[in-house]
């Protein structure tokens, strides 16, 4: 039953904020007034006579299904401070959903005067799905609500602080903002042991405006490290290495990108969940789009290493939904969580070692899979999210596609069945599409990736720095990789793409397009194609195409070259034949190399390199 009391009832699990810290984020992600007169601030809501406010929102919900499935927390309390005008009554209703989204009432109570309300909610009927929240309504005057929290009297399984690891490369302002979001949150600060900020850029974070304030506020809890650029895997690995060094307090590790808009409440929820989970597990936040702040990139992610992909969501997960309209009621089982924000328990790090020295791409996925296979699953909390740069505004035709192709092959060799027939067919189809789509520069570096994978584990010896320079030099040999201002190109007819071929016919269409190109059956002249229409099966119909870059900042000119197409096709056939024939030996070599590659000693060697 509700009652008034001066303080909280137990351990803090999450807070209810009524708005973001920044005006660029729609407050409806936090609370919904339904058009009634309510004034909201970050930690406070003022309701006028006749108004109402619901926390059945993205950040307002309590992820009850996840708490029931993975913790022993059977009862939580919603508590908040309130004050009502004379004659005003504030009604508090707790409600819940089930797996299908049906809503059921839990409690309804009326409050007058002022005090602290505490309402218990049982976490007992959510196993397959559902969430809990509270709604407010006022009549007869005005009411104010603030300091709303969800707590429990249950003791945590692991009363442990967290080490935050952020790696950055030439984004000093972003890094300062992200660390600042952690540093200024008083509740979160109580849980943070150290912030390890690993700076690998030439534009140092230490020179950015606001850094001195960070250092003054965090004091000895800020561990600012400079090192040569070892990519994302090297930056995160350095932070994890330092956080788990001998003599440091036992902490979990929370890794975060530098270029996110950080909601500190999400971090608090992740740390809460990790403390109460029955068994140690990775706890991740969802990714919200930075340019479209109410849209969720994917509600959870998984991998299909047998087919070299992580593009498909797991069962019941959704991609690209608007959080103002979509409510995630179904509990989803994630395969991993990307490192825009992910908490890794210390037990997992001790069991599996440090990340692979991949430089960039697939390091977070491989680590999540490695942890999962070692008995440490991942939960992606549905009401915890950070905003990250949109993937659909990034063109895949850049130097990083080398690392993506090489590292997914390594990850598959380590963790999948690695069937030579399936792997070789998948690689042939993917790179074949690049060739047919006139992306000769990208095809060249991905062919190099396959060749380097075939060479064995020694290709990771330098952590990727020399390879980065090599790949950039190789890409520069192909004119189709050059991003040009659109003003360089004369106006051309824009050709929209026809309907996509059915999935089962894609390989047949690929062979057909390649044959048509070789036989000269291509549309003559040059056309323009928009970024969303730049699929291989469309671009490959033309002799030359000016394709808009996904970033919308320029264009690339893709022109058919028979000699390059034939040479790359032959190289692809040779490499795929070797993949198919050598799959068992490759799998054995890469699996045997994992302990050494992920050891503290190997990373110490890489960190020491100038």
For residue 584 the two structure tokens come to 């068992």
Per-residue DSSP letter, 500: P
Q: Which residues are catalytic?
A: 364
CA distance 502 to 508: 10
Please name the residue that has the structure tokens 């912030």. Answer: 195
**Cβ neighbours of residue 180 under 8 Å, at least 6 residues apart?**
210, 213, 214
CA distance 360 to 363: 7
CB 320 within 8 A of CB 295: yes
Q: What is the dihedral of CA 181, 183, 186, 192, to 10 degrees?
A: 110
Distances (CA, A) of 584 to 416, 574, 578: 12, 17, 11
For residue 310 the two structure tokens come to 């992580």
Q: Using DSSP bridges, classify how beta strands 103-111 and 89-97 pair: parallel, antiparallel or unpaired.
A: antiparallel
β-strand partners of 133: 95
CB 519 within 8 A of CB 532: no
527: enclosing H helix or E strand: strand 523-529
SS (H, E, C) 77-108: EEEEEEEECCCCEEEEEEEEECCCCCEEEEEE
Q: Using DSSP bridges, classify how beta strands 162-168 and 143-152 pair: parallel, antiparallel or unpaired.
A: unpaired
CB 566 within 8 A of CB 530: no
Distances (CA, A) of 543 to 274, 495, 539, 540: 55, 13, 9, 8
Ramachandran bin of 208, using left for φ above 0, alpha for ψ from -120 to 50, beta for the remaining angles: beta
What's the distance, Cα to Cα, between the start and end of the chain in Å? 63
């Amino acid at each position: 039953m509700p009652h008034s009391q001066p303080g909280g009832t137990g351990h803090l699990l999450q807070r209810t904020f009524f708005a973001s810290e920044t005006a660029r984020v729609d407050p409806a992600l936090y609370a919904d007034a339904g058009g009634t007169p309510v004034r909201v601030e970050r930690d406070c809501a003022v309701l006028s006579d006749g108004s109402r406010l619901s926390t059945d929102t993205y950040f307002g919900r309590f992820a009850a299904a996840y708490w029931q499935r993975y913790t022993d927390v059977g009862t939580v309390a919603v508590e908040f401070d309130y004050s009502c005008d004379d004659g005003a009554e504030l009604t508090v209703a707790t409600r819940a959903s089930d797996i299908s989204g049906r809503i059921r009432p839990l409690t309804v109570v009326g409050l007058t005067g002022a005090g602290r309300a505490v309402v218990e909610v049982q976490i007992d009927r959510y196993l397959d799905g559902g969430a809990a929240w509270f709604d407010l309504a006022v009549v007869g005057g005005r009411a104010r609500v603030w300091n709303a929290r969800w707590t429990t009297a249950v003791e945590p399984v692991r009363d442990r602080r967290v080490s935050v690891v952020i790696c950055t490369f030439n984004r000093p302002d972003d890094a300062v903002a992200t660390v600042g979001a952690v540093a200024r949150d008083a509740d979160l600060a109580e849980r943070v042991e150290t912030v390890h900020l690993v700076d690998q850029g030439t534009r140092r974070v230490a020179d950015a405006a606001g850094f001195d304030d960070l250092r003054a506020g965090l004091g000895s809890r800020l561990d600012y490290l400079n090192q040569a650029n070892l990519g994302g895997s090297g930056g995160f690995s350095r932070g994890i290495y330092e956080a788990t060094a001998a003599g440091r307090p036992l902490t979990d590790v929370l890794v975060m990108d530098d270029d996110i808009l950080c909601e500190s409440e999400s971090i608090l929820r992740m740390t809460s969940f990790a403390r109460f989970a029955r068994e140690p597990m990775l706890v991740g936040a969802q990714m919200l789009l930075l340019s479209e702040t109410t849209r969720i990139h994917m509600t959870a992610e998984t991998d299909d290493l047998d087919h070299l992909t992580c593009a498909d969501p797991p069962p019941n997960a959704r991609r690209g939904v608007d959080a103002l309209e979509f409510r995630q009621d179904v509990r989803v089982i994630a395969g991993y969580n990307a490192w825009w924000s992910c908490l890794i328990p210390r037990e997992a790090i001790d069991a599996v070692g440090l990340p692979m020295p991949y430089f960039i791409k697939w390091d977070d996925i491989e680590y999540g899979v490695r942890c999962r296979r070692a008995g440490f699953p991942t939960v992606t909390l549905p009401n915890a999210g950070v905003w990250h740069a949109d993937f659909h505004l990034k063109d895949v035709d850049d130097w990083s596609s080398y690392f993506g192709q090489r590292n997914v092959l390594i990850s598959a060799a380590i963790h999948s069945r690695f069937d030579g027939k399936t792997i070789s067919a998948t690689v042939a189809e993917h790179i074949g599409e690049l060739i047919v789509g006139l992306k000769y520069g990208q095809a060249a570096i991905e062919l190099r990736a396959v060749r380097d994978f075939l060479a064995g584990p020694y290709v990771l010896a330098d952590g990727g720095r020399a390879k980065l320079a090599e790949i950039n030099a190789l890409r520069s040999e192909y004119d189709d990789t050059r991003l040009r201002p659109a003003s360089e190109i004369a106006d051309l007819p824009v050709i929209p793409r026809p309907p996509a071929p059915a999935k089962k016919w894609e390989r047949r269409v690929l062979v057909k397009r390649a044959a048509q190109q070789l036989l000269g059956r291509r549309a003559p002249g040059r056309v323009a194609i928009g970024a969303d229409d730049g699929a291989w099966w469309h671009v490959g119909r033309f002799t030359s195409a000016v394709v808009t870059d996904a970033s919308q900042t320029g264009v690339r000119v893709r022109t058919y070259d028979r000699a390059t197409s034939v040479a790359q096709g032959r190289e692809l056939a040779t490499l795929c034949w070797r993949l198919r024939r050598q799959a068992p030996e490759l799998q054995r070599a890469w699996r045997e190399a994992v302990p050494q590659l992920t050891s503290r000693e190997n990373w110490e060697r890489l960190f020491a390199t100038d």
